[in-house]
Amino acid sequence: MVVSRDKTPTAQETFAQMAQAAGLRGRLLVTVGLLILVRLGVYIPVPGVDLGRFQAEIANTPLIGFLDVFSGGGISVLGIFALGILPYINASIIMQLLTAALPSLENLQKNEGEAGRRKISQITRYVALVWSALQSTMLTTWIQSYADNPGPIFFAETVLAFTAGSMFVMWLSELITERGIGNGASLLIFVNIVAVLPTILGNTVEFAQQGGRDAIAGSVILLLSFLLMIVGIVFVQEGTRRIPIISARRQVGKRLYRERTNYLPLRLNQGGVMPIIFASAVLFLPASLAQFTQGREGFVGQLHQVLVPVSNAIRMDSSTPWIYVLVFFSLILFFSYFYSSLIVNPVDMSQNLKKMGSSIPGIRPGKATSEYLEKVINRLTFLGAAFLSVVATVPAAVESALGIQTLRGLGATSLLILVGVAIDTAKQIQTYVISQRYEGMVKK
């Protein structure tokens, strides 16, 4: 992999191109317009539901607060876009798992080229439709007790509204990816998180004003901890291990190409934000199930009695916070290795290097190269998991120590998504600026 040494565009050049270049300006306008359309759909409520009673019920549900941040408040207001892009993301994760497990899908992805990737994308859409219908059914079953006129008609209409809204959001995300700037699904989650920030910050400011000096000092400390986490996330998200690669000399016609030394970049955090999302969902699950099974009889009541001590033990504000940290770190470590194994395959990388006539200095091609790459990837994955654990536990520990409960699920996962999407989108804009620069040089 050859890394470009071209000069990075300055902020002045970037903004000038965004205003003057018709292609880039058009893509930005398409992106902004579609994102605004999605945000408007979030606030179109499903009719026939007592929102006041529903919002009072979910106020103390940790899992709903966690999901509500990613839906931009759509779940709490029960908008037609309440599910948002989450079913499509779940479908993408399922397809990644199936691609690694089923040889036919793996062959489509690796050997069929663009046609194979289009077919996998189409299968992903069908999986997203099924997953969206399933999640819509579960959500409608839950909110039916808050409906003004519950019954089969309300159930069918609400399931159809949620499913259609999710599919429409998926289509808009693909339009953003194709005709706009950045990855559509990632930008939708980014905008949803940003949309709830004013409410969260307003609640925090109100808490600081009502709580006196201690609350103000706690809010400032919490803000500083978040800023430090953002700086750390930027460094680690951009951190790579550069493995040198030597390309063999080759002759094309009468021209002899000399040996070239490039490098293979391996990211420190291969799984991105996915390990911490999975770990957070598993941690929230016992508390949410305990709340849903409260007051029931029979087997469900016995299950509630088991879930209560488990959910109390794995909370940061419990009497044993070290259990929370240990369980969270173990889950993040497990999902980091699991997701890294799906994304990076040392054997495939070794075979690709061998096909290109490249090798790592001091390492024999073939099995020795794959073993070396596997060892490096395992070390990087452990370091990345340790970093994710620190990012995940420090804000939660500060919130618990200061007694601030106004963030409503905004934490390490949200920070990682915000920073990661912002960096990727900025890089894509810079790529367009560089392409415009070269077009101008060719015209001259």
Question: What is residue 164's predicted lDDT score, i.e. its pLDDT?
Answer: 92
- Cβ 73 vs Cβ 191: under 8 Å: no
Say how many C-beta atoms besides its own lie within 10 A of residue 398's C-beta: 19
Say how many C-beta atoms besides its own lie within 10 A of residue 162's C-beta: 28
Domain assignment present for 138: yes
Mapped onto helix, strand or coil, the DSSP state of residue 79 is: strand
Q: 444: exposed, middle or buried (C-beta count within 10 Å: 0-12, 13-18, 19+)?
A: exposed
Residues 226 and 143 in one domain: no
Residues 166 and 240 in one domain: no
Residues 176 and 67 in one domain: yes
- The residues, ordered by sequence, that sit 6+ positions from 444 with a Cβ below 8 Å of its Cβ are none
Domain assignment present for 165: yes
Residues 168 and 206 in one domain: no
154 alpha-carbon distance from chain centroid: 33
- The residues, ordered by sequence, that sit 6+ positions from 215 with a Cβ below 8 Å of its Cβ are 207, 208, 209, 404
Report angle CA 212, 214, 218 to the nearest 5 degrees: 120
Residues 173 and 203 in one domain: no
- CA dist 326 to 74, 288, 322, 339, Å? 33, 20, 6, 20
CA atoms within 13 A on the CB side of 441: 6
Question: What is residue 438's predicted lDDT score, i.e. its pLDDT?
Answer: 58
- CATH number of the domain to which 290 belongs: 1.10.3370.10
Give me the amino acid identity at 65: G
**Which of 180, 207, 228 is the C-terminal boundary of a domain?**
180
Residues 85 and 204 in one domain: no
**Which parts of the chain have pLDDT scores under 70?**
1-22, 59-66, 248-261, 281, 288, 291-296, 300, 315-320, 400, 402-412, 436-444
Nearest Cα to Cα of residue 273 among 57, 37, 70, 440? 70
Residues 231 and 315 in one domain: yes
Question: What is residue 405's predicted lDDT score, i.e. its pLDDT?
Answer: 64
Domain assignment present for 437: yes
**Structure tokens, 363:** 């390492």
Residues 164 and 241 in one domain: no
Exposed e or buried b per residue across 138-158, where buried means at least 16 C-beta atoms within 10 angstroms of its C-beta: ebbeebeebbeebeeebbeeb
- Cβ 273 vs Cβ 335: under 8 Å: no
Residues 205 and 287 in one domain: yes
The whole domain housing 100 covers 28-180
Name the domain count of the chain.
2
Nearest Cα to Cα of residue 284 among 146, 408, 142, 402? 408
- The CA distance from 30 to 7, in Å, is 28
CA atoms within 13 A on the CB side of 429: 23
**Structure tokens, 208:** 């600081």
**Which of 155, 180, 205 is the C-terminal boundary of a domain?**
180
- The CA distance from 268 to 229, in Å, is 16
Nearest Cα to Cα of residue 265 among 293, 237, 297? 237
